[in-house]
Amino acid sequence: MPGTLENLLSERDWLLADGATGTNYFAMGLQSGDAPELWNITHSDKVMRLHREFIEAGADIILTNSFGGSSYRLKLHQAQDRVTELNCAAAQLARRVADNASRTVLVAGSIGPTGEILQPVGELDPQDAQLAFTEQAYALAEGGADMIWLETMSSKEELQAAGAGAAQSGLPVVATMTFDTNGSTMMGVGPSELVDIYRESVPRLVAFGANCGVGAPDLVGTILAMSQHLAKDDVLVAKANCGIPQFVDGEIRYSGTQELMAQYARLARDTGARIIGGCCGTTPEHLAAMRQALENHEPQPAPDIDKVAELLGPVTAGARAACCPELLSADATPRRVRGNRRRRSAS
């Protein structure tokens, strides 16, 4: 069914985005180290099945299986020459499932980071990164995506390159960055200053926010910090991990329950997010609980950070500082720790 993000948001207070890709594919047989994007050709039935399950759980927006679809990520699998093929297929599969739904479902073309560090800190030329993002965005648009969804970015420089590349597709753009235990991105950008960076760096921006990161409590804290700097028409996005990853019986499992993710969805909405979904570890069952929670939710005033911790669990000192800097004295500022860049294929 045809539709646009703008149209849906004019009709609805909130929209539900989908959940994890990688962790659900692992349950379907994806092996560690394999490229999920190759499944768009080799296991298209499984890719469409997960899209269908998320829609049945209540998703209004599904993200394509293309997070690691840039030439830089695909080079790790000797598939750097298949960018157009794999991304176009990812969008076509999602489009096919979305168009068969009984209601309007939008397709977001997922673009994750290159996995490289951009100049001046690293070696990748921003212009080369932009070309890679442009190539991916064009292919997703060709395959039928309704928007480009930049996710799990960690540096301002890469966001700028991705935003410029995505804009070349002519599609509207959603952008989310990921935050570590210091309450900032890996490159030290805090959520409050990021609001302006989103506006300045992404030409066709229609929504922005945060995804992945430490867990639901910290992500709500991040959204709370961003919400204090919104303009009237800004659309905030929250896409939290499903609890904390744990190594159990040789597998990575996420600790979040359906009840926790339902509570997270309610708090994200009260904090001002209008697009709410799940990231790493979020299954269709979790998403169904989130949909039910949002449909039955009576809006409440935005929670403070202590309320978030009470309902969702501990909030790191970094997230508290980002949300409520007045609570920390200068000598109590958390020490910055460089985190590892994460990719959604492990989500």
Domain ranges for the chain, please list them: 5-346
Q: Which pLDDT score, from 0 to 100, does residue 195 have?
A: 92
Distance CA 258, CA 250 (A): 23
pLDDT at 165: 98
Please report the pLDDT score of residue 102 as a whole number: 95
Please report, for residues 121, 129, 134, 162, 227, the alpha-carbon distance to residue 126 in angstroms, rounded to integers and kept in the order given: 11, 5, 12, 9, 30
- Which amino acid belongs to residue 18? D
Q: Please report the pLDDT score of residue 239 as a whole number.
A: 98
What integer pLDDT is reported at residue 341 of this predicted model?
36
Q: Is 339 helix (H, G, I), strand (E, B) or coil?
A: coil
Residues 6+ apart with CB under 8 A from 166: 111, 133, 134, 137, 148, 150, 173, 202, 204
DSSP 122: S
Cα separation, 184 vs 192, in Å, equals 10
Give pLDDT, residue 77.
97
What pLDDT score does 325 carry?
66
Terminus-to-terminus CA distance in the chain, angstroms? 28
Q: What is the pLDDT of residue 185?
A: 79
pLDDT, residue 194, reads 87
Task: Please check whether the domain covering 5-346 is classified as CATH 1.10.760.10.
Answer: no
Give the pLDDT confidence score for residue 243 in this predicted structure: 85
pLDDT of residue 244: 81
Side chain identity, residue 332 = A
pLDDT in the model for residue 329: 39
Contact by Cβ (8 Å): 219, 273: no
* Beta bridge pairs of residue 251: 248
Low-confidence ranges of the chain (pLDDT < 70): 1-2, 250, 325-347
Residue pLDDT, tens place only, 187-207: 777 888 889 999 999 999 999
Q: Give the per-residue pLDDT at 223.
A: 95
What is the pLDDT, as a whole number, of residue 326? 58
